[in-house]
Structure 1
Amino acid sequence: GMLHSSIAQWAQVDGAKDVAHDLVLGAQVSGPKGSSRTGEVARLFSNVFLVTWSEWEPVRLQHVGYPSMSADRSQPAVEQLRFSPILYRQFPGYMRYSLIIGLLLVTLAASGQLNMTLLGSLNYQALHNSDLSDVWGYVDELGNEYALVGVNDGGVSVVSLADPANPAEVFFFPGNGSIWRDLKVWNDHAYVTTEGGGGLAIVDLTPLPQSTSLTAQNFQGNGWDAAHNIYIDENGIAYIFGANRGEGGVIFLDLTQDPFSPVELGAFDTWYAHDGMARGDTLYVSHISDGFFSVLDVSDKSAPVLLGTQATGNDFTHNCWVSDDGDHLYTTDEVSGGYLGSYDISDLSDIEELQLIVSDPGSGTVPHNTHFINDFIVTSYYSYGTTIHDVSRPWNVIEVGHFDHSPNFSGNGYHGGWGTYPYLPSGNILSTDIEEGLFVFAPTYVRACWLEGTVTDAQSQVPILGAEVSISTTPVVTSTVLGGSYTTGYAIAGTYDVVVEAFGYETLTIQGVQLQNGQVTLLDIELMPLVPINVSGTVVTAGSLDPVPGAMVTMVGEGVELQVTADGNGQFTFGNAYEGTYSVTAGQWGWHTACFTLQLDPNTPTQTIELTPGYADDFALDLGWSVSGNAQAGIWERGIPVGTSYQGGASNPGVDVSGDCGGQAYVTGNAGGSAGNDDVDDGATVLVSPSFDATGLVMPQVSYYRWFFNAGGNSAPDDTLLIALSNGIDTVVIEQVTALDPDLASWEPRTITIGDHLPVSNEMRLHVITSDGVEGHLVEAGLDRFELLGGPVSVQEGAGPMEDLTLWPVPSNGHLEVRCDTDEDLVVEVFTSTGALTSMQRIRNGRGTIDFGTRKGVMVIRFTYSQRTLVRRVVVN
């Protein structure tokens, strides 16, 4: 197919979409796993991309070739800028399909409570000294309501809601301890799965309310006695998900013959199944670690037929629920900052992702379970509580209710809300909080106030992609997608100002916009373009001022990243920058990366960026490290680390090593979520540096920071992080880290003398290898701040005296004034006491200042001018 960007006004004609295009080039997108089809993707504006294909094939964004988006304003955290595909319908006039990748953030202020009233609660720490898992509801023959609660320390709790303000446990059936316990009801019997083993627990609820002496027993499955989840359809068919048999797919049980003796009818065992639900003869399954949901025809339970699959936004599909009309499906991705996903499944051969929703953006809160009711979805979040979203416009989903019942936790992590149940006849919502217990809420279901429209260029009328639309005094913010269209809204009616911003345009505030519940406010917006500023400069070597050909230069401003490559003379030009503040980074392999802040205006002069020669990489830029291996997950990638945790401690790093340019490091997988999500799995992943020349240095050393974490599994962790050096002939391990290392799960500095391990050459490379062995454990690794150190300075102190050189104060307080009786420039090189070059600068006309930054101790300074050299040692306090 061809790659295009929109250059004409978007049109909506009879439900079809028609648009004109112009050629744009960019980074790469590839087809699904195993496909050889590749294409091009254009970075049109801040977070919008477009790909067109000449024929239909599902496509997956693999790598855009750009640094991560800045998060230095009221934007989502970086992990929330991991865009996922939204597939729109065919353009009839072009017979193409287009992929739009965008991010819509719709949320409410973190007030803790909106349209949900707490009626009552039950503290299970006091009742059973236990945390909780899932919850379901039951209604007896007299209309009395009950909560069925999974108790982690082992059991099923039946709770009377006769007085919702005072829930009371009336029955408890003990079982094996497990943090996973799921419950459903059929024909006055509760069926409960657990990963703790012991079988399927079955509780006869028919004696209620006259008697609380209930019969309960465990059913042993055919080759399984533990499972993650259960769903029971309207026909009395139970679907067992994630059992300890085979791949852990779905097992079909008939409950209608004997409620205590289910009969197995068949299974679907192609993939592990984490959760799901069914209606009629259609089953919807969430394949969590495989990252997608599937839809199956199960009319013949002995031979289910796969109808379609769809990847979800974060590739970690935890649960899903279908709308009453069967046309839409809603999903949760159980990762930090994970999405609620809205999908059009009316055509299972062409499933469309309509919207990805983040609640409490920037906090990293994790969604868990969602349920559809009357064009709303009710969702449990770990640290954020229970939410209600209006999905009556499934392409514009708005949060309209919320209650935070986890006061001691916030943000990322797996504490707080677990399950929710919105189907009681009273309308009350049940929610379980892992630590806080059972909650009973009275919801007020209100329709959203929707705001929709387009944003265009006021002069050319061209749609603007990536324009940010926000509603003042609220945290609501969204971005325009293809055609300049946007969809957003709020829960509370009122008069608001709408602020619209786009890179290259004047910010516009529209005052007095009326928003009303249950109504769509249409607001089309035109923005005036700014005059672009050309930014040019040269990247040179510090000291010699020789050009650095091919240097990479980036400018990161508010909502935009610009990147160019310097030509053979080290010269570069940005032709599409605008007035504002930018973070500028420049680098090339063989030089130290430099970074600074640039306040850009029409009078900004030509820039000269000096790079200190030497091999070093803080990974602020992609300087050419290669990745290989056969691992199926947790592959090395460069980015701002997204932290994960295990048993209260860090597993994947959450930050890079401080004190360098940018926040990037190399880590093994960076999708966030649980410790087991995107860690190294089923093989090895290998990171290799570009080659570096260590010859000509006295006692050359490599310095780096490394991270390693190894835990979990069903046996003692036995995985390894290997760091090796090669010289073009031999490869030798210089460090080996195991689960027994005392410095796990932290950034640990190491300095290794190359000559202690193998001969020095001009083709040296650093190799970093880790893997997950046959037994299967949690494995995470990281690398940051690589540097080749030069050994002791070879010039003898005092060589070539300069009696006219004056330095003060000595000892230094962090700065050193330099005076030399000459009109020539001095080249000043600063080394550590071990010979590592820390900086190089040119002092004009013999007068200047040396800034030692945060370095302390003995520093060695080499001054050179007119073929004269002097070395002085200075103590820095």
Structure 2
Amino acid sequence: MEFNMKMIFALMLVMNASVFAVEIQADNVILSNALDLTRSGARAKRGNDIWGWTDPATGKEYAIMGMDSKTSFVDITDPMNPIHLADVKTKTFSSTWRDIKVYKHYAYIVSEAFRHGMQVFDLTRLRFLDGKKVEILKEDLHYNKFGNAHNIFINEETGYAYAVGTSTCDGGLHIINIKDPLAPSFVNCVGRGVYELPGNRKHGDAYTHDVQCVVYRGADQDYQGREICVSSNEDTVNVVDVTDKSKPYQISVATYDGVRYTHQGWLTEDHNYYLLGDELDEQKYGTKTKTFIWDFRDLDNIKNFAIFEHKTNAIDHNMYVKGDYVYQANYTAGLRILDISDIESGNVVEAGYLDTLPKDDRASFDGVWSTYPYYDSGTVTISGTDGVLYITRPNL
């Protein structure tokens, strides 16, 4: 049975045949199942980031969820019956932060753990697992040109990975060529000012917390076809041209009213607008959750022109755009889905949600960490800080 009620109490089966209680509140989002990944496979206590992969040969869909001391791989092709197939243990130590992205059929895993580096795992190995037990597997390759990293982004169009918040590059972009997935090679840094270019443009703005890199196709003709990285740098949003990896340069940098900690954001699919979350403004100012809406039609002059104020006081964390919707993981407020079809007017409305802590909307770091909405089936996965993988289906 799938659930889509305003308030629900459910018992969900997990892979070791035990049960645990799930209490949710939802609107326009169906909960298909939930799987507690702390109860099977390698030992772990807490969950963090999530990504996904669809096998082009079989059509099977997989959730890849980060945990404090492992990365878990779950077959969610049948959302009602997820199968925890395998774990890859942390390379060194346990850490609150672990992040995964995918290029072709390889997962790239980084962590804040000391000397962790980057693990590379061949996802086609999952094809040969029957799910009768959780396999503990090793990575296929380890990249050690940095130690810890807060996050990683991969531009699948260009074949470059961008590790951020690392022990190198002043914490800025650590650029890696992954066109040969099992032979990653360091390319360059975007940290503090290294290059001076015409117009007094500088190389970078030091520590980057999160980033999205794209081949720009927005309205600004000066940069169409250029590879740009949009980074969240604690108190600013930065746009960097990385087309020439030997000489990346900063196009623009901007801040906004109410800044506390510029955390993460995502471009609309047309690259004309950018949605941003500030992780600490709710705690600092006691305000409702806010999503900051930016105009990116002139990359030399990016600006925050509107704010969407949510109904809750929860901390906003990670968000991803798919079509006319942005899928947000907002800690104690759960998954929040916003309709951004009229974003050019600054008009954003909530289209649905699934709250895993319906009795708690405090500005605290509990609840859901991240979400992955890019499966062709329409499934949306959510990672809980408690180590629970939530498998959902929006009804939009």
TM band (smaller chain): 0.7 to 0.9
1:273 is aligned, of 188, 198, 208, to: 208
Deviation readout 1:381-411 (Å, 9 max, x if unpaired): 0100001101111111111111101256431
1:296 is aligned, of 235, 240, 246, to: 240
User: Match of 1:430, as an amino acid?
Assistant: T
Question: Are 1:204 and 2:122 an aligned pair?
Answer: yes
CA shift, 1:433, in A, is: 1.0
Q: Is this contact kept in 2: 1:409–1:415, CA < 8 A?
A: no
1:188 is matched with 105
1:388 is aligned, of 337, 342, 351, to: 337
Counterpart Cα distance in 1 of 2:320 and 2:96: 21
SS in structure 2 of the partner of residue 202 of structure 1: strand
Distance 1:217 1:407, change over 3 A: farther
1:370 is aligned, of 294, 305, 319, to: 319
Counterpart Cα distance in 1 of 2:258 and 2:231: 16
Counterpart Cα distance in 2 of 1:250 and 1:390: 31
2:164 is matched with 241
Question: Are 1:285 and 2:234 an aligned pair?
Answer: no
2:292 is matched with 341
Question: Are 1:261 and 2:183 an aligned pair?
Answer: yes
2:370 is aligned, of 375, 400, 419, to: 419
1:318 is aligned, of 263, 266, 285, to: 263
CA shift, 1:215, in A, is: 5.2
Q: Is this contact kept in 2: 1:181–1:194, CA < 8 A?
A: yes
User: Match of 2:75, as an amino acid?
Assistant: S
Distance 1:170 1:408, change over 3 A: farther
Counterpart Cα distance in 1 of 2:383 and 2:257: 26
1:430-579 matches, within 5 Å, as 430-435=381-386, 437-445=388-396
1:116 is aligned, of 16, 25, 29, to: 29
CA shift, 1:138, in A, is: 0.5
Deviation readout 1:344-380 (Å, 9 max, x if unpaired): 110122223221122224xx31000011110211000
Q: Is this contact kept in 2: 1:338–1:365, CA < 8 A?
A: yes
SS in structure 2 of the partner of residue 209 of structure 1: helix
Counterpart Cα distance in 2 of 1:392 and 1:149: 30
CA shift, 1:313, in A, is: 4.6
1:123-202 matches, within 5 Å, as 123-127=36-40, 128-140=43-55, 141-152=57-68, 154-175=69-90, 176-197=93-114, 198-202=116-120
Query: Any stretches of 5+ residues in structure 2 without a counterpart?
Result: 1-23, 193-205, 216-226, 283-287
1:593-742 matches, within 5 Å, as none
Query: Any stretches of 5+ residues in structure 1 without a counterpart?
Result: 1-110, 446-877
Counterpart Cα distance in 2 of 1:191 and 1:312: 33
CA RMSD of aligned residues (A): 1.8
Counterpart Cα distance in 1 of 2:368 and 2:58: 30
User: Match of 1:390, as an amino acid?
Assistant: D
Deviation readout 1:109-165 (Å, 9 max, x if unpaired): xx931111001111123234511000000111211000000011x111001112211
CA shift, 1:338, in A, is: 4.2
2:9 is matched with none
Q: Is this contact kept in 2: 1:231–1:240, CA < 8 A?
A: yes
Counterpart Cα distance in 2 of 1:382 and 1:218: 33
The alignment-based identity, stated in percent, is: 28
User: Match of 1:135, as an amino acid?
Assistant: I
SS in structure 2 of the partner of residue 126 of structure 1: coil
Counterpart Cα distance in 2 of 1:264 and 1:408: 47
CA shift, 1:205, in A, is: 0.8
Counterpart Cα distance in 2 of 1:435 and 1:216: 25
Deviation readout 1:291-310 (Å, 9 max, x if unpaired): 11111111011211111122
Distance 1:371 1:312, change over 3 A: farther
User: Match of 2:334, as an amino acid?
Assistant: G
Counterpart Cα distance in 2 of 1:406 and 1:261: 43
Counterpart Cα distance in 1 of 2:141 and 2:47: 20
Q: Is this contact kept in 2: 1:406–1:433, CA < 8 A?
A: no
Q: Is this contact kept in 2: 1:298–1:305, CA < 8 A?
A: yes
Deviates more, 1:330-339 or 1:403-412: 403-412
User: Match of 1:442, as an amino acid?
Assistant: R
Q: Is this contact kept in 2: 1:185–1:191, CA < 8 A?
A: yes
SS in structure 1 of the partner of residue 38 of structure 2: helix
2:352 is matched with 401
SS in structure 2 of the partner of residue 342 of structure 1: strand
Counterpart Cα distance in 2 of 1:407 and 1:209: 37
1:742-757 matches, within 5 Å, as none
| TM-score (norm: length of structure 2) | 0.79
Counterpart Cα distance in 2 of 1:267 and 1:246: 5
User: Match of 2:292, as an amino acid?
Assistant: G
1:866 is matched with none
SS in structure 2 of the partner of residue 207 of structure 1: helix
2:274 is aligned, of 329, 337, 361, to: 329
Counterpart Cα distance in 2 of 1:441 and 1:199: 32
Q: Is this contact kept in 2: 1:313–1:356, CA < 8 A?
A: no
Deviation readout 1:503-529 (Å, 9 max, x if unpaired): xxxxxxxxxxxxxxxxxxxxxxxxxxx
User: Match of 1:177, as an amino acid?
Assistant: S
Q: Is this contact kept in 2: 1:380–1:418, CA < 8 A?
A: yes
Larger radius of gyration: 1
SS in structure 2 of the partner of residue 397 of structure 1: strand
2:3 is matched with none
Aligned length: 328
Distance 1:406 1:217, change over 3 A: farther
Counterpart Cα distance in 2 of 1:312 and 1:444: 34
Counterpart Cα distance in 2 of 1:324 and 1:294: 19
CA shift, 1:211, in A, is: 3.8
